[in-house]
C-alpha cells in the first residue's frame, strides 16, 4: 500500500528508485525531486541532526549514469503524465514541481564525476520542460568547493539557472566540531563560501536547534553575526540566508539531546541578520 506523501516523508527509496526520490518540501511548498548521489549513506561530515540511517564517513560511490537517466526520465513522466500525485495522495495545493535538488544521503560533491551528473540532470529536466520554470538546487556542506571538479559542476549549475544552498550551522570552531563533526576550519569554509558565490548564485543555509536545553548562546549568535559582517565587507553576494530548525528526529547518537528551537528565537535572530542587510527566510 502506498502511503500519503507529506512534508514529514523524506525516505530516499519511497518510490523504489535508486537515485531519484520525491519530497513534499515544507520550505518550497510543493514537490521537490531529490537526487541522491550518496546511495551508500556516506558523507565526509556527521551532523548530529542528520536523519540518514547507518551514516558512515566516506564519499559517494561510482555513479551508474544510464540508470540515473532512466530513473529521472521515468519519474518525471510519471509526475507530468501519470497518476503519481493521486497514488501518493499529495494535497492539491502541493501538486507542482518546485525544484530538482541534488541532496540525498551524504555530501553530493564527493561524487568523482560531479560535473557530468549536474549536466545530465540539467539536460533531462530541460528536455522535459521542468527547467527553467522550476528551481535547480545543490544542497551541500561546501567542504569540497575548492576542488576543480566541484567548481566545474557549479558553473554548469549556474548555466541551468541553478543555485547552491551552502551549509553553515555554526561560526565557531567549537560549534562546527559539535554540530557537524567537521575537521575543516571555519576559515576554509568561508573561503569556499566566497568561491561558491562567485561561481553560482548561493544561499547560506543554517540549521539552529536546542542542544541539551542550551538554546542559542550569545557566543554562537555573536560569532555568526560577525561572520556575516565579514562576508558583507568582502563584497561576497549571498542571495539569501536560510534559517531553519529540526523537524524530524535525528538518527545520530545525540538525537535525545536535540529539540527544535523556538520560532520566536529564530525570528528574533533573523531580524538581527536583516539589520546587516541580508535577505532572510525562516522555516520552523
Share of the chain above pLDDT 70, in %: 94
Which is more confidently placed, 284 or 101?
Answer: 101
- Which residues 6+ apart lie within 8 Å of 68 measured at CB? 19, 20, 35, 117, 120, 121
Looking at domain 20-283, which CATH architecture does it have? Alpha-Beta Barrel (3.20)
Q: Summarize the confidence of residues 198-221 as an average pLDDT.
A: 97
Task: Work out the mean pLDDT of the chain and round it to a whole number.
Answer: 94
Q: Is the pLDDT of residue 46 over 70?
A: yes
Q: Name residue, grid cell 570552531.
A: 173
Looking at the predicted structure, is the pLDDT value of residue 6 above 70? no
Write down the pLDDT at residue 7. Answer: 54
The reported pLDDT for the residue numbered 10 is 47
Residue ranges covered by each domain of the chain: 20-283
DSSP code of 11? -
The predicted pLDDT at position 83 comes to: 95
Please say if the pLDDT value at position 3 is more than 50: yes
Q: What is the mean pLDDT of residues 71-96?
A: 95
Residues 6+ apart with CB under 8 A from 11: 21
Is pLDDT above 50 for 265? Answer: yes
**Of the candidates 135, 134, 244, the residue with the CA atom closest to the CA atom of residue 200:** 135
User: Which has the higher per-residue pLDDT, 32 or 1?
Assistant: 32
* Residue 13: predicted pLDDT: 60
- What is the Cα–Cα distance from 11 to 52, expressed in whole angstroms? 9
Amino acid at each position: 500500500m502506498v502511503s500519503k506523501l507529506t512534508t514529514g516523508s523524506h525516505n530516499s527509496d519511497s518510490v523504489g528508485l535508486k537515485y531519484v526520490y520525491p519530497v513534499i518540501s515544507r520550505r518550497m511548498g510543493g514537490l521537490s525531486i531529490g537526487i541522491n548521489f550518496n546511495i551508500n549513506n556516506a558523507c565526509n561530515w556527521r551532523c548530529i541532526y542528520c536523519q540518514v540511517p547507518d551514516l558512515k564517513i566516506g564519499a559517494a560511490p561510482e555513479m551508474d549514469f544510464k540508470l540515473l537517466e532512466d530513473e529521472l526520465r521515468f519519474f518525471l513522466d510519471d509526475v507530468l503524465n501519470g497518476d503519481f500525485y493521486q497514488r501518493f495522495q499529495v494535497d492539491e495545493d502541493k501538486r507542482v514541481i518546485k525544484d530538482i535538488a541534488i541532496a540525498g544521503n551524504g555530501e553530493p560533491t564527493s561524487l568523482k564525476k560531479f560535473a557530468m551528473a549536474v549536466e545530465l540532470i540539467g539536460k533531462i529536466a530541460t528536455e522535459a520542460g521542468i527547467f527553467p520554470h522550476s528551481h535547480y538546487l545543490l544542497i551541500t556542506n561546501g567542504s569540497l568547493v575548492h576542488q576543480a571538479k566541484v567548481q566545474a559542476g557549479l558553473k554548469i549549475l549556474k548555466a541551468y539557472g541553478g543555485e547552491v544552498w551552502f551549509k553553515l550551522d555554526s561560526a565557531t570552531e567549537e560549534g562546527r566540531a559539535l554540530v557537524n563533526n567537521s575537521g575543516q576550519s571555519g576559515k576554509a569554509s568561508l573561503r569556499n563560501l566566497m568561491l561558491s558565490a562567485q561561481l553560482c548564485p548561493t544561499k547560506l543555509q543554517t540549521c539552529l536547534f536546542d542542544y541539551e536545553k542550551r538554546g542559542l548562546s550569545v557566543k554562537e549568535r555573536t560569532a555568526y553575526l560577525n561572520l556575516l559582517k565579514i562576508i558583507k565587507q568582502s563584497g561576497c553576494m549571498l542571495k539569501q540566508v536560510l534559517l531553519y530548525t529540526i523537524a524530524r528526529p535525528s538518527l545520530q547518537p545525540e538525537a535525545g539531546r536535540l529539540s527544535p528551537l523556538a520560532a520566536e528565537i529564530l525570528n528574533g535572530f533573523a531580524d538581527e541578520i536583516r539589520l546587516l542587510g541580508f535577505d532572510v527566510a525562516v522555516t520552523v
